[in-house]
Structure 1
């Protein structure tokens, strides 16, 4: 006879999978109780079966098929309960033991270690249905979710869209530990997943943010397994919300597809960096913990056997338990081999090294790292887990150029599906196999295209749509003019009526969507005589024995376009502060023109803003001397137009706050712009505006950036910070990237999966 799960799934193909899974779990729960419980009226078996049957019919299953199913399952459960009772009389109650693999073996459809342990813990709760109360171990949250899914199914049959409220996306991980959250999203399964498709196809869903604003309407999401998708669109369009909805299975992603989302920094504690990456694979961690407990119990059983006679009932109980434990231990060992658990530490160390963690840094506690480095740890943990669906939200924002190069190479050989939100063109050109364009409450697919080809195709589509719209408008105008002229002319009235019918049959075209254009403008500055900024044999350190910079000889001129690159922590920001005379060198000289004014943009600019004030009020307090109208006009030159300048800055997006910071640094009319990670938070439109403004600026530019596209478009000179000094690099930013990759390959850091 086939298993209960197989019987249920056979007749519920039209039912939502989560409802089917719930029904299978419920029936499997019933199969674990004893016949004695039924006889003593603690459990009304026919009522339980009727309850689940009604649930399946409501969810869309055929009533005749469910009636037959219910009859078969009732017979099968009766037999199973008698067998359970017979074994209980011999073995005794094992519910409070460490493990009882009889229970694990009874639900091979979906064996979840945590769920099994919960079942063994005898944690009962009361649930009321069919007009009475009963004691059960059924997951109440899962029941509530199943009921919600049924309601949505009914709504969909009534031609209503399914709505997934993103207001539920309050960070669940802040309320529960990482392991619990991981297992909640990705329950551990035994048995092979072979034959199960890992493609994702979600039809006709709406997505809302917490205030009721709709960001997707009747959308379709299709992700083919093994493809790497770049999700692009303007700031505030809802890309991150879509990723969070997927990461929490708010959208209907099949349960056998594992998901991991990199969106927040790791919480620091005393765990070593390397161990924190190993612990990120909760499945491996749980299995190793189970393996240890089982081996301890097996040793305990062996010692207990010597205390009883060979044929005693106690020996039979111990033998039953040992057999069950050994069978489960075999399952665990097979799963660990499948995961290549023995290679885990070497793989984790390689990933950390590629993301900038030295061998020594890997042995430091996570609470010793800054927020940026903890974000890298979060990324390393995700790469180590290798989920079927990896979700990345602006991963390049937390990385330097060497680490971005490593990540791009790593992802190019990633064996599963990647969906990344990014505005870094070079990164998307390297990584993406497909682009998803989110706009106007919909998702458009550009298959087989990286960012550059997507952008070209999108522009061509827009031109074609605009031309088609203009042609139709001209044709409509021509018809309407004829109708207006001859409608009441007896000789031409028949022709006029014919044109009226033509006009009525024309499809109504909407004007093509026009993206908002943004222009940045840095004010012109007067020329200065050299030297503007010059460093001669400069060395710096907080003590002479540990120099951060040594023998630096560089200069910045009025026409300079310089990119300063290198690994995080190698002294780039220190060099900027020495050049701006915020730090004094231990040796050497810094020469500056006495009239020089510097505009300094820091990647932590938001920390210095009063977010409770409007942009106009904040600028008038920090840079007084202008009227509100002048501040608004100046903000307008950086895309902060209309009432945006009068809103509290906490209501602005990250990109809009960056534009306010750019506007502010220009108020002293600088000769040199020193920019530390200027591209963070800017969308494609903002990045294009920044590139154009920097090209047209009449002063000099020195930027620290990880964005290869901006560097390539703006900078003519590359400075590389490494090995305790800074030198000019002979080549382009792409030459430097190739140099980084070749160095990583030589060190064996970038490897095929």
Structure 2
């Protein structure tokens, strides 16, 4: 059944305030019923202005207006040919106007001007509406809209969204967490509930009339498609752009540590700004007390009593302050701080020697780990993590997930790593369609199953209501001009007006990747025979006496700590590096599809995906390139845009599409899960499993490894060996090793 005019209005502006959308829907339904005397262009323009002022999409509103005019003009022409509508029809129309007003669908005062529906319709009807109540409701709505506008202006104008310079970190930390050690927060709830807020990035609204609820001690996984605004929500919380109570401390792992001469361990200790300042105050006041003691000892018994008494009072005050500092440092367990910081760093992959190295000696990825270590060390009441697994290897992710399972405060983490969320999350928040949906007591797998059940129930409820609406509308249309059935028709009209507005559940975006068919080769395909490698031939040995091979039916995952030589192994297999000792054998006809960890660096982002492919893999038509990109979710005009305009996930999909252009026999994938959301990861796993050639994958995503790999290779201590168990058993071994070394601490 084609949607009614009212339904078209609702669908065109699903995210605006329901009071406005319902008014517009009711208004256009009334115009349709009084079409003979209506000025269609003026009525449509009036509704258009209301929708745009309320924040609806300009494109959707323009399409709606075209559809309304194309529908209403023919209706008006047909109605004009009829002789008249009669008394009963007028009575029904009047009932509709009064009913709409009774339900609060009048727009008096909403946007600064009064609108009289009856006058617009060309006649005046006595209304039974309580006008005082109506005016009170309209003032309340106007105040709510004004408050929302102010919130949005404040958020967009905020200066705290700018990056924090390194030299201002202490000031920023104490500004965001002013009461971290005060007593004013004692006894107060650390639950967070922020109601009825909107969130914008520039002019794009990402959350509308939303409520964020975080129960203290719970660990929330925030999930949603790439670009939906999850990181923006975390930033708004971390800068207190949203109304987080002041006694709740917040830390957000967002920017890498700025490199300088500070040792890594000291950098972590300095992250707790209050502890650092208390230690400085302790040193300062201790010295002042010592100086006063020296002065008092130097005064003879005949000294001025008033001066001596003043010095003793000053010493007493300093001593009291020092006692307070001691108490606060004891409360913080400051004496255990260094061992705790060292334990966190070790768990995140920093050896004891590396912990003494200056921060400037570490790469960007390792500095991000330092930022994570600093946040874990501070133990804020609300810890905000944005894709933490992207910067970590499997051993470090294993440590982090185990650490967070015992974290005593609240965690809000953005992640697409299913295994990580299954281990860490106690609840899931699904961000979509400018809203937040909550799945309590759920990890990712439980959320996925529950969401599908919710969608089915919503669809059944929607279809049931549509059938009920259809029955009511059929009766109204059939008997609206029948005087004998007027009362029943009015009754059904009221029922129809009072039905809640339901929307068809949105379809989740799905992706499908498809690698090309594979030409068969005879073994051996590619083999490392007693291979040793070191950079420059004389540097530290990265790989020693490695013997391993990849065949056409291989499904291998290569894991190990960062810096253990995983990428070196891949480059030896693909011929980008040559061994210092030993031999690499390759089938003469072998073609390898190599996905590099930093694939974007190799792309000319000023070119389109189609242009990039044509330059590097010539010989096909533009249509063929576009069709090939379509197999990886780059559809429509995306393939013709400059790649700099594509999201990180879309660039990754272009890189995957490029792999297939050489018709590879083997896929070598170095960290392919970075930048892919859940739909992308599902598509990648399915495509890898359907690929008929060999696969060697380096990944930190345990779920992806579990779904695609049959063998596990471990790169560690200068060698590569086949691991006899599964990825889960490997993680258990990591924890057992860390536990025996005294590293595993939960908080």
What TM-score bracket applies, with the shorter chain setting the length?
0.7 to 0.9
Q: Does 1:276 align with 2:270?
A: no
Deviation at 1:627, TM superposition (A): 2.9
Deviation digits for residues 158-198 of structure 1 (CA, Å, limit 9, x no counterpart)? 66463352563533313753212211211254436421111
Deviation digits for residues 664-695 of structure 1 (CA, Å, limit 9, x no counterpart)? 22221211111111001111111111111111
For these two proteins, the number of residue pairs brought into alignment is 601
Q: Does 1:197 align with 2:197?
A: no
Cross-structure match for 1:181: 172
Cross-structure match for 1:740: 734
Q: Helix, strand or coil: the match of 1:642?
A: coil
Q: Does 1:297 align with 2:288?
A: yes
Cross-structure match for 1:532: 525
Deviation at 1:653, TM superposition (A): 1.8
Q: Does 1:458 align with 2:451?
A: yes
Q: Does 1:416 align with 2:406?
A: no
Cross-structure match for 2:419: 426
Q: Helix, strand or coil: the match of 1:229?
A: strand
Does the 8 Å contact 1:544/1:586 carry over to 2? no
Q: 1:159 to 1:185 in 2, by over 3 A?
A: closer
Q: 1:580 to 1:379 in 2, by over 3 A?
A: same
Q: Helix, strand or coil: the match of 1:626?
A: coil
Q: Does 1:165 align with 2:155?
A: yes
**Partners in 1 of 2:666 and 2:650 — Cα distance?**
23
Does the 8 Å contact 1:166/1:241 carry over to 2? no
**Partners in 2 of 1:356 and 1:669 — Cα distance?**
38
Cross-structure match for 1:231: 222
Deviation digits for residues 394-420 of structure 1 (CA, Å, limit 9, x no counterpart)? 000000001000000000001111110
Q: 1:619 to 1:174 in 2, by over 3 A?
A: farther
Does the 8 Å contact 1:294/1:329 carry over to 2? yes
Q: Helix, strand or coil: the match of 2:244?
A: coil
Q: Structure 2: 5+ residue runs without aligned partners?
A: 1-139
Does the 8 Å contact 2:148/2:197 carry over to 1? no
Cross-structure match for 1:208: 200
Does the 8 Å contact 2:195/2:211 carry over to 1? yes
Deviation at 1:632, TM superposition (A): 2.1
**Partners in 2 of 1:569 and 1:618 — Cα distance?**
32
The worse-fitting range, judged by mean Cα deviation, of 303-312 and 365-374 is 303-312
Q: Helix, strand or coil: the match of 1:734?
A: helix
Cross-structure match for 2:327: 334
- 1:681 corresponds to which of 675, 681, 706: 675
Cross-structure match for 1:315: 308
Deviation at 1:699, TM superposition (A): 1.5
Q: Helix, strand or coil: the match of 2:501?
A: coil
**Root mean square deviation of aligned Cα:** 2.4
Aligned runs of 1:654-693 on 2, under 5 Å?
654-693=648-687
Deviation at 1:492, TM superposition (A): 7.8
- Could you tell me the TM-score, scaled by structure 1's length? 0.76
Deviation digits for residues 32-66 of structure 1 (CA, Å, limit 9, x no counterpart)? xxxxxxxxxxxxxxxxxxxxxxxxxxxxxxxxxxx
Cross-structure match for 1:257: 248
Q: Helix, strand or coil: the match of 1:173?
A: coil
**Partners in 1 of 2:264 and 2:491 — Cα distance?**
78
Does the 8 Å contact 1:265/1:375 carry over to 2? yes
Cross-structure match for 2:434: 441
Does the 8 Å contact 2:479/2:485 carry over to 1? yes
Cross-structure match for 2:637: 643
The worse-fitting range, judged by mean Cα deviation, of 316-325 and 683-692 is 316-325
- Could you tell me the TM-score, scaled by structure 2's length? 0.77
Deviation digits for residues 505-534 of structure 1 (CA, Å, limit 9, x no counterpart)? 433321111122111111112111111111
Deviation at 1:383, TM superposition (A): 0.6
Cross-structure match for 1:360: 353
Q: Structure 1: 5+ residue runs without aligned partners?
A: 1-151
Deviation digits for residues 459-503 of structure 1 (CA, Å, limit 9, x no counterpart)? 110111112222322343445455556666899888766655554
Q: 1:324 to 1:477 in 2, by over 3 A?
A: same
Deviation at 1:304, TM superposition (A): 3.5
Deviation digits for residues 323-344 of structure 1 (CA, Å, limit 9, x no counterpart)? 2211111111110000111111
**Partners in 1 of 2:664 and 2:263 — Cα distance?**
45
The worse-fitting range, judged by mean Cα deviation, of 367-376 and 730-739 is 730-739
Q: Helix, strand or coil: the match of 2:318?
A: helix
- 1:591 corresponds to which of 567, 581, 585: 585
Cross-structure match for 1:633: 627
